[in-house]
Amino acid sequence: MRKTKRLAAMSMACMMAASALTACGAKSAEQTTAAPASGGKETTTAAAGGETKKDSASSDKVKITIWTDNRHDLEYMNKVVDEFNKTNDHIVLDYVVQTENYENLLSMAANSGQSPDIFSQINGDDFRNFVDNGIIQPLNDYLTDEFKKVNEVDQHLYEGCNVVGDKIYWVPCGKRSGSRMIYNKDVFDKLGLKPPTKVSELPEIAKKITEAGKGDYYGIIFPGASGPFERWLEHSAEMSGVTLYNYKEGKFDFTGFKPYLETVRQMFQDQSVFPGSASMKIDPVRVQFAEGHAAIHGNASQEATVLTEQFPAKIQWGVAQLPTLDGQIKGAETCSPNTGWMMSAFTEHPKESWEVIEYFGSEKVLKGYLEGGYSLPISNYMDSKIDKSKTGRMADFAGADYEAVYPVAPSVTPDGENYRDALWNACLPEGPSIDETIAKLNQTYNDALEKEVKMGKTKRVVIKDYDPLHPGAGTVEYLDK
């Protein structure tokens, strides 16, 4: 790891860290390290920049420190790292899982000169912030023909997601599906229920299940503190043709979310929601669902391994398409490129860091990763190489033809609440007015957009030929007015 820093970039990183602490709350990070090279001994600290100590057998190797926020694939990645450490003659890997405030920890590590050499990709606003503040470096000069072939790099360049202009900052080697409704088959079969196709059907179904459960199980559960909108409600809205950003007009519009807020509020009022959901994080939600204490849970394809390895379900569970407003699919559901690695701009070992990224994105490693059900293939090349009979429950999340990668909406910083927090608060029975919440979000987000476009901090995204079923097919314009 590099022990120096660029002051200009790092002052911004410090501001980002403070912002993340405000948004997420300052909490200690749980840190897990993979097994060291054969014969090595390790000690681990539970803070950013923790060191793994190795014996003299590997002291002549270059140590590449890797951070990730993925825990669902740890069993497989431990084996990958262990094999690399045993067979590579000049690099040793220190693989660390950070499970709390990931982007915040990366910002603070960069600010303190303790940045890991490489780390699993970050998304959304944080990606652009990391680019703008010089925390990550482009990979264009490192990409090899073999790596490009396996991952079909040129076919998966998403502006604002993994590239900015002609600079590639990470390469997706897999993808996360859009969200699905995950339900307790035992309960649904017992009560003669079928997964709802319309959002308006949710309250009645959730109420029936809750009444039958008599306190043992409830109709539905939400990860209130981990973004229920991000997990699946926003995806259901997309499938109904509702998005937070109007691509044709180039402005934010949250109006279409009103029926979702009303539906969730109704389920809370009916006491059909698992108690404590309003403040639960995602892992406790998963545990309660796996134990059979909630019948409906929504999330994406990572649940395939979560419910079979991380928190093995004690119930029979099924996967269904998300309900939409009228039962019809009128828009694409977001799927997310993932399984990618970023290189720190401050690494002292870029050549070796790339060697590790290339290894993680190799056909050999990806074949086991994809067949293990840790991600879905994003390249046709890898899709043709894997044995799909080995992917287990991941198959339940594959093959939806209504999924797409959306153009990234402008990144803005509005006065007041983040839209996901505001929408969730409006779902609660004691929450603010739904109409007032939506009106305020429309005002604050568009005010921020106008202001930041004029300042040159962001650009207005306009797609005049936008098609909600094929959001990436239109002609994207980036306007400075």
Q: What is the domain-level CATH number for residue 172?
A: 3.40.190.10
Q: Is the distance from CB of 370 to CB of 391 less than 8 angstroms? A: yes
Evaluate whether residue 44 is within a structural domain: no
Sheet strands (E) in 155-256: 163-164, 167-168, 174-176, 180-184, 245-246, 251-252
Q: Would residue 232 count as lying in a domain?
A: yes
Give a yes or no: residue 41 inside a domain: no
- Smallest CA-to-CA distance from 106 within 67, 70, 161, 163 is with 67
Q: Is residue 48 part of a domain?
A: no
Distance CA 306, CA 71 (A): 9
DSSP 218: B
In this structure, are 237 and 320 located in the same domain?
yes
- How high is the pLDDT of residue 15? 39
Whether residue 143 is found in the same domain as residue 92:
yes
The residues, ordered by sequence, that sit 6+ positions from 303 with a Cβ below 8 Å of its Cβ are: 182, 286, 297, 397
**Last residue in a domain, options 370, 400, 430:** 400
Distances (CA, A) of 424 to 231, 285, 361, 419: 12, 16, 37, 8
| pLDDT for residue 21 | 34
Question: At which residue do the structure tokens 């490009």 appear?
Answer: 148
Same domain, 78 and 207: no
**Amino acid 123: pLDDT:** 86
pLDDT in tens, the chain (481 residues): 433 333 333 333 443 343 333 333 333 344 555 544 433 333 333 333 333 334 445 578 999 999 999 988 999 999 999 999 999 999 999 999 997 889 999 999 999 999 999 999 998 778 988 998 999 999 999 999 999 999 999 999 998 899 998 999 999 999 999 999 999 999 999 999 999 999 999 999 999 999 999 999 999 999 998 788 889 999 999 999 999 999 999 999 999 999 999 999 999 999 999 999 999 999 999 999 999 999 999 999 999 999 998 999 999 999 999 999 999 999 999 999 999 999 999 999 999 999 999 999 999 999 999 999 999 999 999 999 999 999 999 999 998 999 999 999 998 999 999 999 999 999 999 999 999 999 999 999 999 999 999 999 889 999 999 999 999 899 999 999 9
Determine the pLDDT at residue 37: 40
Task: Tell me whether residue 36 is in a domain.
Answer: no
Tell me the residue range of the domain where 81 lies. Answer: 62-177+335-400
How far apart are alpha carbons 427 and 433 in whole angstroms?
9
Distances, alpha carbon 15 to alpha carbons 102, 135, 236, 370, in Å: 15, 13, 34, 37
Q: For residue 20, is it within any domain? A: no
- The answer on 158 and 107 residing in a single domain is yes
Last residue of a domain, one of 374, 400, 426: 400
pLDDT in tens, 303-326: 999 999 899 999 999 999 999 999
Same domain for 437 and 414?
Answer: yes
Shared domain check, 448 and 355: no
**What local confidence, expressed as pLDDT, does residue 101 receive?**
87
What is the model's pLDDT at position 31?
55
Do 191 and 166 share a structural domain? no
In a domain, 72, yes or no: yes
Of the candidates 400, 433, 452, which is a domain's last residue? 400
Angle at 315 between CA 311 and CA 316, to 5 degrees: 110
Residue 215 lies in a domain: yes
For residues 304 and 158, state if they share a domain: no
User: In this structure, are 282 and 387 located in the same domain?
Assistant: no
Same domain, 66 and 189: no
Q: Looking at the structure, tell me whether residues 154 and 76 fall in a common domain.
A: yes
Measured torsion, CA atoms of residues 55, 61, 62, 67, in degrees rounded to the nearest 10: -50
How many structural domains does the chain have? 2
The CA-CA-CA angle for residues 425, 431, 433, to 5°, reads 105
Enter the tokens of residue 322: 């998300």
C-beta separation of 139 from 357 below 8 A: yes
Both 324 and 340 in one domain: the answer is no
